[in-house]
Amino acid sequence: MRANSTTEYIKAKESFYSLPVWKFSFLDRSCLSMIIRGIWIFDSQLDIENMKEGLKELLGYYPHLSGRIKDGIGVYLTNQGIPFTVVNEPGISLHSLQKSKDSDLIKHFSTPLATSRIKRGIDPLLTVKVARLRDASVLGVQCAHACMDGRSFYTMMENWGKICRKEDFEKPLLDQSLFPGPTVLSKEEIKQLAVSSGWKSISTFSFITRVLPKFVLGTVNKRSRPFYFSKKALAEIKNRIAQKMGHQVSTNVALSALLSKMCMKLYGYSHTTECVQLTVVDCRCRLASLPANFVGNASVVVPTPSFPGDASIEEIALVIRNTLKPILQNPSRELERFLELTLNVFSHRLPLFPFDVTAMYSKKPTVFHINNFSRFPVYRIDFGSGKPKVVIPSDLANPIFIWNAPPQKDGVEVYFSGTLACTIARLKESDPWMKEMQQYSL
């Protein structure tokens, strides 16, 4: 039974940001309808007062989190505070949480944010909740995606812990003027440029009949169980690809190639089916104007050229590697051009995308969207009483999602969402596809 629930609004002690408004970049505005949710499970009792004092200092470096949205242009730095809720739940144990679904844990152990109220400046942009269990603590944090992307969010959480431990950290940079904006090219000029660059159009009919139902019916939010890839298995995948290709590839490229291949096997694609793989790329340090500590949204989705449905893992890895090589340069002129075109297309609200959107949401997807969170410091959050035992992954609707496995296991976990998750859910454990995926857990 829940008891002794208390909520206190935490405000910044002082702000290190001199301007009255933190203005959204174009990319920030595009994320206004999204929420990042994080759940951390500790096998110890968190020091609530120390966390509150640390949060007061943290908000000085992230003052937009303590403000409110106004006029849709950004966040007014009013320091109205964020709700910090503490609830005692002695009837729940650490062991009992293992039986719960991730979605249930997120719902129970965090204070929800409503984007409709956030946009109107009614609700805060961040909520914090700590549940004290019989033998553990659960921390739930929800944040408006318009304020920060995954890298900014998990870095912010790590910085909060460092403040509580009185350790130094790299100060965040809140300056959205550093992020590129749309150019002055006309709508027709941008349309011609996008089409000549291979961008695909999507009709209103296709969107309503093939894409929208997946969101209305909640299909995009369905998620598979995690598939574990051990550190040893990841190294073997990389080595096998390197031996056949004649040169090395990154772990991200190797795993992305394997996962794309497994998606193709899931539907039995042949040479006549064209497939595309999408990678979420962080623009920090790859754009000359964006340093590593930039706070906000700074990611873009980069598609590969198409490859046949029966391509080998090595062939797919080569396509991904060749696509990302110029994009991942520091700085990258190729990324700058791609981002500029993306922002211009969206600013003119053209129904164009660098890949076939309907193919990503079809009954048999041929566009494989992969978001890799394994580089984020999700398990390094420590408020002074130790690091978490388990971190529940964000529930954003990423069709293929790579997440850190718990430290005691090492390696990564892979989740499939949407149509892919629904297809996998119909497979038996004895299915060859399932057995092949499970071999990487050894």
What is the percent of the chain with per-residue pLDDT over 90, rounded to a whole number?
A: 86
DSSP classification of residue 226: P
Q: What are phi and psi of 61, to 5 degrees?
A: -90, -20
Task: Report the alpha-carbon distance of residue 285 to residue 293 in Å, rounded.
Answer: 9
Asked if residue 235 lies in contact with residue 255, where contact means CB atoms within 8 angstroms, the answer is no
Segment among 96-105, 220-229, 402-411 with least mean pLDDT:
96-105
Beta strands in 304-420 (DSSP E): 307-308, 352-353, 367-372, 390-392, 400-404, 412-416
What is the percent of the chain with per-residue pLDDT over 70, rounded to a whole number?
A: 99
Strands 82-89 and 126-133, sheet pairing: parallel
Q: Does 1 have pLDDT greater than 60? A: no
State the average pLDDT over residues 349-371. 95
Fold of the 192-441 domain: Chloramphenicol Acetyltransferase (3.30.559)
The model's confidence at residue 6, banded by pLDDT at 50, 70 and 90, is very high
Segment among 86-100, 149-163, 378-392 with least mean pLDDT:
86-100
Superfamily of domain 3-178 in the CATH hierarchy: Chloramphenicol acetyltransferase-like domain (3.30.559.10)
Quick: pLDDT tens for 321-330: 999 999 999 9
Length of the chain: 442
Tokens of 213: 């139902």
Q: Does 4 have pLDDT greater than 90? A: no
Q: Does 395 have pLDDT greater than 70? A: yes
State the average pLDDT over residues 211-218. 85
Quick: pLDDT tens for 116-168: 999 999 999 999 999 999 999 999 999 999 999 999 999 999 999 999 999 99
What is the pLDDT at residue 19?
A: 84
Mean pLDDT of the chain: 94
Quick: pLDDT tens for 370-381: 999 999 999 999
Q: What are phi and psi of 99, to 5 degrees?
A: -90, -5
Asked if residue 294 lies in contact with residue 173, where contact means CB atoms within 8 angstroms, the answer is yes
The full set of domain ranges for the chain reads 3-178, 192-441
Q: Does 344 have pLDDT greater than 70? A: yes
- Count CB atoms within 10 A of the CB of residue 355: 21
Quick: pLDDT tens for 16-35: 888 899 999 999 999 999 99
State the average pLDDT over residues 213-238. 92
* H or E element, residue 345: helix 333-347
Task: Report the alpha-carbon distance of residue 196 to residue 337 in Å, rounded.
Answer: 14
What is the pLDDT at residue 2?
A: 47
Equal CATH topology for 3-178 and 192-441: yes
What is the pLDDT at residue 221?
A: 86
Task: Report the alpha-carbon distance of residue 324 to residue 251 in Å, rounded.
Answer: 13
What is the pLDDT at residue 3?
A: 55
Task: Report the alpha-carbon distance of residue 138 to residue 131 in Å, rounded.
Answer: 5
Quick: pLDDT tens for 274-308: 999 999 999 999 999 999 999 999 999 999 999 99
What is the pLDDT at residue 218?
A: 85
Tokens of 20: 């009255």
